[in-house]
Structure 1
Amino acid sequence: MNAPLVLLDLDGTLMDSAPGITSSVAHAYRALGIPVPDDATLRTFVGPPITDSFPDHGVPPERTAEAVAAYREAFTAGGMFDNAVFDGVPDVLRALRDAGCTLLVATSKPEVYAKPICDRFGISDLVDGVHGAPLDEGTSTKADVIAAALAAQGRRSPVEPAEGPVLMVGDREHDVHGAAVHGVDCLGVSWGYAPPGELERAGAVAVVDEVPALAPAVRELLSAAL
């Protein structure tokens, strides 16, 4: 049997990346001459593919590529590093590794950004790999990212429990839905960017409210799957 595998979302789960993302999104709206959404709406951009979020919030579909280009202009100029690891997350990752878990970041953020961000903030040293979307996010879903992470570990989809337990940890509904495609449960975290009740409605197996409780919750769910 393989070691227990834990797939970890990045934005809103391991890192508070809202400042850099929301400021870059606001820049894109201003560049297009479209009114900038309110702060609550801007926060909903954190997590899902940016190519989905712009047309969902007032950007005409034919201008989505223009909006993405303007967003990335600000994001690569510094917004991508305007974030921070949530307090206690490094301790959680160390505890899970000490418990024998394989840890993989699985994020909808383009991998070309996710890897240097994880490198800059020390996440890469605490996990066994970083998997993200292609630069053209519109061609990828969270399920696709999870598929790549599973394949990198030689895991099949749907996941075969006899090969070792697998668990997703995330803060938005697309984490739950993407994991479900592969027969994987998702443990939600409430310190991210989901509106109240989103994770529960999506079918998260449980929701953790405090970072120190995450490692014990992950271990309990993995043990129950053995």
Structure 2
Amino acid sequence: MAVPSNVFWDPAGHLHTNALHWEGFPRLLWESLRSFLYTEPPQYDAVEYQEEGVHQCRVRMTIPQHPFRSQWQPIEVDVVGHRIVDTIEGAALETIYLFCNQHPREVAGQPIGLFSTIDPNDPKWNLRIVPEGHRLEGSTEEALQGTMRFMNVQHHYQLLLRHGMGQLINIAQGHFRIADRQVTQIQHLQASVTEKEEIIAAREETIHHREDQINESDAIITQRNTIIEFLQE
């Protein structure tokens, strides 16, 4: 029986969902958790925001304490991405990686167990050496179908990342063009200021020269007045 997606927004603008309404890492994660007798799918808390002009999204998600396995502690992830969908996918993928690394023996034999051989922090996503003891359970057809699902979801996630990266590149190029125009405007303003400063300096020099001429004229007038007063005596 399918679990409702249970999508809603809270008053603070956070999206809450179990993200089970599309074929992606959240659904694969929940199917794997359900096989380990978890009773409730993880809930994703997503919020979008602007930071320095760049659209971003933060997703928090927790796998709760296992219903009866006390040693299986909660797993919490906090992922920042570009949009809600790709960030939820990234959070689920990181959770799969953490879950597999915390329970390597339990996931052996399941397609999800292969994720313990993948490091999500490795930009090349290289598949590391598969443990010798890892054997997919069930028929070959079922194992192949499960593996193909994970591969298809991985491909879809890469497309989301590529789309998000393209948007970020466009934003960066837009900021660069704006900054370039502003630099050009600043250079023009600086040239204009320099030109006006030169004009002001030339006018100040002219004023100083005129003041010198006035002082000389005043001195001559004073000298002549002195001579006139002497002659009048």
Structure with higher helix content: 2
Larger Rg: 2
Bin of the TM-score, shorter chain as denominator length: under 0.3
Calculate the TM-score normalised by the size of structure 2: 0.25
Higher relative contact order (CA 8 A, sep 6+): 1
Calculate the TM-score normalised by the size of structure 1: 0.25
